[in-house]
Amino acid sequence: MDRKARAAIILERLRPRYPGAASALTWKTPFELLVATVLAAQCTDARVNLVTPEFFRRWPDPKTLAEADVAEVEDVVHSTGFFRQKAKNLVAAAKLMASRHGGTVPRTLAELTALPGLARKTANIVAGNAYGNHEGIAVDTHVKRLSFRLDLTDSDNPVVIEKDLMPLFPRRAWGEINHLLVLFGRDVCQARKPRCEDCPLADVCPRKGLSVPTP
């Protein structure tokens, strides 16, 4: 089976398993999604969701965050890990949004990745989920791992993986496939002990990189 055919089956089978698949982060505005996604790096979504209410109470938009004391931001985001760098990047990004984008979150990948602390993954998540602007596929830890295991790529480089995935899925599904693979990676195809006996993709999965061969 070629990769295009396998990708179509993956999308077809995971959609009904995870209807309305979406990020576990709690957000209402593009700014809130941007902040939450930055804080989620090396941190659980559940922890981020505990931190963001106070963050958004103090700094509800780029303009207020641009004027924030970085030390105060550090205190609020401390429990998310790497708090100094996250606080520094968020305030710097807010300053650019205030000065260059009229206090709003930009819509394009090029503009988003020009903000401090926003790599392609974060930019894809914000552009796709907040604006429906799908210029690429967000490759996080789960997507990276499952893309290799399902033989949708031969690479472990997120940039290369994204380029490999984009031709395999329809553009309208580029945001959706990230959510589906993340949920599937947490639910069934876990890193250390995948539940292959309960896997809806068992018959098409090459189990690439796993020491135990396909039954």
pLDDT (tens digit, 9 = 90+) per residue, 108-154? 999 999 999 999 999 999 999 999 999 999 999 999 999 999 999 99
121 a catalytic residue: yes
Torsion of CA 53, 57, 59, 61, to 10 degrees: 80
**By mean pLDDT, which of 33-37, 48-52, 154-158, 189-193 is the weakest?**
189-193
- In the predicted structure, residue 215 carries a pLDDT above the cut 60: no
140 a catalytic residue: yes
Catalytic member of 121, 154, 156, 164? 121
Indicate the burial class of 126 (C-beta count within 10 angstroms; 0-12, 13-18, 19 or more): buried
- In the predicted structure, residue 163 carries a pLDDT above the cut 80: yes
- In the predicted structure, residue 64 carries a pLDDT above the cut 70: yes
Query: In the chain, what are the domain boundaries?
Result: 3-21+137-198, 30-104
Q: Average model confidence (pLDDT) for the chain?
A: 95
Task: Give 127-130 contacts, CB < 8 A, sequence gap 24+.
Answer: 128/174, 128/175, 128/178, 129/22, 129/23, 129/33, 129/175, 130/29, 130/30, 130/33, 130/34, 130/105
Q: Determine the CATH number of domain 30-104.
A: 1.10.340.30
Its pTM surpasses 0.85: yes
Catalytic member of 63, 75, 88, 140? 140
- In the predicted structure, residue 214 carries a pLDDT above the cut 80: no
Q: What is the pLDDT of residue 212?
A: 56
One-letter identity of residue 92: A
CATH class of the domain defined by 3-21+137-198 = mainly alpha
